[in-house]
Amino acid sequence: MGNGVRAQQREQTRRTLVRESRRLFATQGYASVHLSEVVQAAGVTKGALYHHFESKAALFRAVLEEVQQEVAAHVAATADAEEDSWNQLTSGCHAFLRATTEPSVQRIMLVDGPAVLGWRNWRAMTEATSGRHLASALSALVLEGIVPAQPVAPLTHLLSGAMNEAALWLATSEDAADLEATRQALTRILEALRAK
């Protein structure tokens, strides 16, 4: 068996472990998942799991990275479909809110993420994905004069925090009208940023 085949098998094992643990973390939550369940679902040995991930937290981190990258890619694709910078910002923010209110994404990305990795590590990961897109969109709007000249970092953190908090609140809401009301509130907040 050549090295190329072995490398492919290792990558396939890693992908299977991430896929199965993602499903388990999303449905049961990090604290309730045992590594024995992961290896059984993935059809591998514990040794194979530890070859790829040193701990349950490392496995969770890989799952979280995948979820964050998917959300960021979805937000970027939605924003890029718009012609002008303002619509890119608003459609991207609404796409983020929609994506993060999906229960499995929410549990991994917003509930367990900060708890498992610690707030600082989780924030750094968030800033590297969705936060980077948001900062870029806001920077473009400031350059174009659509948003008044101001430091972009505080604005990025304020908007990001507001959207994360809204998504967490919507997770516990039992009123279907809350999502539309939140979308409308987000639109008003964004509109308030525009230069008059």
Contact (Cβ atoms closer than 8 angstroms) between residue 105 and residue 71: yes
Contact (Cβ atoms closer than 8 angstroms) between residue 88 and residue 80: yes
The domain that holds 21 is classified in CATH as 1.10.10
On the CB side of 158, CA atoms within 13 Å amount to 10
For residues 89 and 182, state if they share a domain. Answer: yes
For residues 70 and 47, state if they share a domain. Answer: no
For residues 119 and 98, state if they share a domain. Answer: yes
For residues 64 and 137, state if they share a domain. Answer: yes
For residues 135 and 86, state if they share a domain. Answer: yes
The domain that holds 131 is classified in CATH as 1.10.357.10
pLDDT of 39 reads 95
Total tally of structural domains belonging to the chain? 2
Select from 53, 68, 84 the last residue of a domain: 53
pTM of the complete model: 0.89
In whole angstroms, what is the distance from residue 104 CA to residue 30 CA? Answer: 12
For residues 82 and 12, state if they share a domain. Answer: no
Query: pLDDT truncated to tens, each residue of the chain (196 aa)?
Result: 567 878 888 899 999 999 999 999 999 999 999 999 999 999 999 999 999 999 999 999 999 999 999 999 999 999 999 999 999 999 999 999 999 888 889 999 999 999 999 989 998 888 888 888 899 999 999 999 999 999 999 999 999 999 999 988 887 788 889 999 999 999 999 999 999 8
For residues 15 and 36, state if they share a domain. Answer: yes
Enclosing H/E stretch for 155: helix 152-172
pLDDT of 77 reads 95
For residues 73 and 122, state if they share a domain. Answer: yes
CA angle 12, 63, 121 (to 5 degrees): 135
Give the tokens for residue 78. Answer: 């939605």
pLDDT of 2 reads 63
- Can you give the residue range of the structural domain that contains 34? 1-53
Q: Please give the torsion angle defined by the CA atoms of residues 121, 119, 111 and 79, in that order, rounded to the nearest 10 degrees.
A: -60
For residues 39 and 9, state if they share a domain. Answer: yes
